[in-house]
Amino acid sequence: MKRDLIKLSDYSGAEIVSLIDSAGLLKKQKGKLRADLKGKTVALVFQKPSNRTRVSFEVGVYELGGHCLYLGPEEINLGKRESTYDVAKTLSRYVHCIVARVFDSKDIFELAQHADVPVINALCDLYHPCQALADIQTIREKMGSFKGLTLAYVGDGNNVFHSLMIACAKVGINVRFAGPKGYDPNYEIVQDAKDSAKKNRCTIELGRNPQQAVKGADIIYSDVWVSMGQEKEKAKRIKEFKGYQVNKDLVKAAHKDYIFMHCLPAHRGLEVTADIIDGEHSVVFDQAENRLHAQKAVLLKLLA
């Protein structure tokens, strides 16, 4: 029976840890060519432009011995040029896996429902599981374990936060969210994550005060205030997120050995100042690298 990676709530904490264990081993073999996916083709169906996601998947598939086929919005426009059902059924006859980066989560769920091959969510409006796996891998590399850690997320309760919150809840990391009114995370996703957190003896707290969220935190996480497709809201968002910038004054409240995380791309001077994202506590490029290794681990689990 085929398995997908659409959202991390479908995976147990043990499975998530197993994936990052595999990612760690793959990282030690960085650059080594393998033959696990020899003769297999992975289709990248992307509605959005991408740097890290596209490159890391293409390189990862190559290093595992497979072939990657990029299909941008010009080739496939899900639900417009061709129905998502037809795309799922057709591609299933040609390829061994579909990696999709879409605007609307209904497209990724529909692809997974109808495809006869594994589907990997490379980003939708609700989830970004591949990013969260790389984040969890980075946290363990830097901190040694998950036990007793607190992550403070300052900003928008978006797809990145949803997946990160779920991953943290599954492995036992406390999460504190601080964002302005009107930008809270999805209620149902929060409740789902809280159920996991309770089982794993950690907590999820939502609030408005960034100083309170960051106090004593081991990890500070930020993301852009204006995501792709939200450009028309830029002026409004910048005004409403005022006070949620991660800067030298805010981080004073954190643990002295905190790490700063950001999924990139970043807007220096908006959600984070340059001295923080380019400073000694920042691990943003370790996160970016770990996208490669975490995704290779996922590909091996679903295809090898």
> Where in the sequence numbering do the catalytic residues fall?
101, 128, 131, 223, 263, 291
Neighbour count for residue 15 (Cβ, 10 Å): 12
Neighbour count for residue 30 (Cβ, 10 Å): 10
Pairing of strands 259-262, 219-222: parallel
Give the tokens for residue 58. 């293409």
DSSP string, 183-240: -PPPHHHHHHHHHHHHHTT--EEEES-HHHHHTT-SEEEE--SS-TT-GGGHHHHHHH
Q: How many CA atoms lie within 13 A of 245 on its CB side?
A: 16
Q: Is the bond preceding residue 265 a cis peptide, omega within 30 degrees?
A: yes
Give the tokens for residue 25. 């081993």
Do 246 and 154 meet the contact criterion of CB atoms below 8 Å apart?
yes
